[in-house]
Structure 1
Amino acid sequence: MKNEDNALQIEPVSSVMKVFAILAALAEHKSLGITELSQIVMSSKSTVYRFLQTMKMLGFVSQQGDDDRYWLTLKLFEVSSKALEHVDLVSLTEPYMTSIGEQTKEALHLGVRDGDGIIYIYKVDAQYNLRMQSRIGGRNPLYSTAIGKVLLAERPDSDIRQTFENIDFIPSTANTHVSVDSLLVELKAVKNQGYGVDNEEQEEGLRCIAAPIYDRLGNVIAGLSLSFPTLRHTPEKFEKYVGLLQDATTKISEKLGYTQKP
């Protein structure tokens, strides 16, 4: 066991440690020059300069003109805020997902946008033997998922076209959208009705319904979906599922500070 523990030990990467040392130093001061920073992080001026220029290029550090002084931007705050938002979102959403899962016995997913796709940040498995192969951290396309559709539905057409400008629409089934034009037509309906549907577009024999979750500014930040095999579909169940999802997402959105009913 001792040998296994030693094998799992990972040597720290010195360059990464220096980057975080620079970030920590800048966080403690309004601004710092290269000479001061090099003394604090115990590295040469040339090394600190190279790190700062990369961090500046990535938007984490700012510099006024040719001034020798550097300071942190709000980029780190933005990154940490997104992470905290997801943590809060899961804790807020989990009870509703559990409740809907108990009522329907079907699978539920909480997903957020990640570039040109969605990523699942929480899920509740179906209570039936037939289960989806999805996992927390798994990705799927925006254009073929119910969650992806509610994340896109309130965006301007120009933004949506730009998102898919260099994206190939890969048909997972015969029902998958193959162009942004056909997707835009459906997104107008999604916006009007307040929910999106994956009609066997991602996986044959599987349907999904999703409703949007709003933040305090009225932006759609996530989608809550319920998935079920087409063999268990009935119009009555469909209406019930839509109602359950919309009721849950309305309450979650209100807890996030959204005052207008989606």
Structure 2
Amino acid sequence: MRRKRIVEEDTKRARGRPKAWDDKGQQNTIKSLDRALEVLVELGNMGGGTLSEIAGALDQSPATVYRVLTTFQGRGFADFDEQSQVWNIGAAAFLTGSQFLRRTSLVERARPIMRELMEATGETANLGIERDGKVLFLGQVETHATIRAFFPPGTASAMHASGIGKALLSRMDDARQRQVLAASKLEQFTPHTLTDPEAMIADLHAAKARGYAIDGEERNLGMRCIAAPVYNVFGEAVAGISVSGPTSRITEDRIAELAEPVMAAAARLTTAIGGNNRPAG
């Protein structure tokens, strides 16, 4: 019986990692692949660039970067425009990256809720999560209005200058909160961006108390966002849902009014993913 259990455990282990999977040594890293992925990530961050621009940004030789790019081009992960001599992310990178959205039912469950939120408020509805100390936008339902906010899926944004980012930060413990804020260095994007750590912490405490966060022109002038957290089964904030639009429509005296459907949408999504609407902590 014991032998059978050992065989079963070995079989399970072999599905994802070898026996020495706990080893964090560099022998488990393929350096050439790691460097190649650096090129792909930088290409995405740049939004396209010439060979010399990409090589310069990475401090790598143009010959090395060129070999990497042509390899990615062969697999559809990079495109090259002969006329402009500019390299861009290819369709295969998008298709592979979009698989991330299918790992969880969060995006699928959120879509109809976001659509109803957009219809109820008349403003663009957004869904985001925290990844590596930033907000990663997973979905958006755009308003029918002419002036609108635009955060396509895959966009990453600073947490301290984002409604969803601040909603998620407000539910973190103090140590994690300060860790994320320190890493962001509280970069100033507009005159309204909170760059003083204590002012930021006070703003997050206020967001936690009222149940929603506000981005008041802190990332983009003329734009305002209202966001509320979505919780998992343990009552931990794992995502945020928001509405965003121009300050001419989302005026200060409408914030409380619009916050109600935002919080209701976040609560519905929490329930839809089997979460607990009684926050932890």
Give me the TM-score of the superposition, normalised by structure 2: 0.63
Instruction: Give 1:31 shift.
Output: 6.6
The answer to whether 1:193 aligns with 2:210 is yes
SS in structure 2 at match of 1:87 = coil
The CA RMSD measured in Å over matched residues stands at 3.0
Larger gyration radius, structure 1 or structure 2: 1
Work out which of the residue numbers 179, 185, 189 in structure 2 matches 1:172. 189
Instruction: Give 1:125 shift.
Output: 1.0
**Distance in 2 between the 1:227 and 1:112 partners?**
16
SS in structure 2 at match of 1:122 = strand
Work out which of the residue numbers 222, 228, 238 in structure 2 matches 1:221. 238
Contact preservation (8 Å) 1:199, 1:207: yes
Contact preservation (8 Å) 2:147, 2:245: no
**Distance in 1 between the 2:103 and 2:213 partners?**
21
Work out which of the residue numbers 87, 103, 111 in structure 2 matches 1:94. 111
Note the 1:247-258 alignment, pairs <5 A.
247-258=264-275
For 1:103, the equivalent position in structure 2 comes to 120
Instruction: Give 1:160 shift.
Output: 1.6
Work out which of the residue numbers 49, 54, 62 in structure 1 matches 2:28. 54
Q: Which moved more, 1:162-171 or 1:186-195?
A: 162-171
**Distance in 2 between the 1:232 and 1:103 partners?**
14
Contact preservation (8 Å) 2:149, 2:246: no
Q: How many residues align?
A: 197
Deviations 1:69-122 (A, max 9, x none): xxxxxxxxxxxxx95786311111111111121222211110000112101000
The answer to whether 1:27 aligns with 2:1 is no
**Distance in 1 between the 2:145 and 2:129 partners?**
26
Unaligned runs of 5+ in 2: 1-10, 30-98
Contact preservation (8 Å) 1:198, 1:209: yes
Unaligned runs of 5+ in 1: 1-22, 34-48, 56-81
Instruction: Give 1:226 shift.
Output: 0.2
Deviations 1:41-82 (A, max 9, x none): xxxxxxxx9x99416xxxxxxxxxxxxxxxxxxxxxxxxxx9
Query: Sequence identity, in percent?
Result: 26
Give me the TM-score of the superposition, normalised by structure 1: 0.67
Instruction: Give 1:232 shift.
Output: 1.3
What is the identity, as a one-letter code, of the residue corresponding to 1:26? A
SS in structure 1 at match of 2:192 = coil
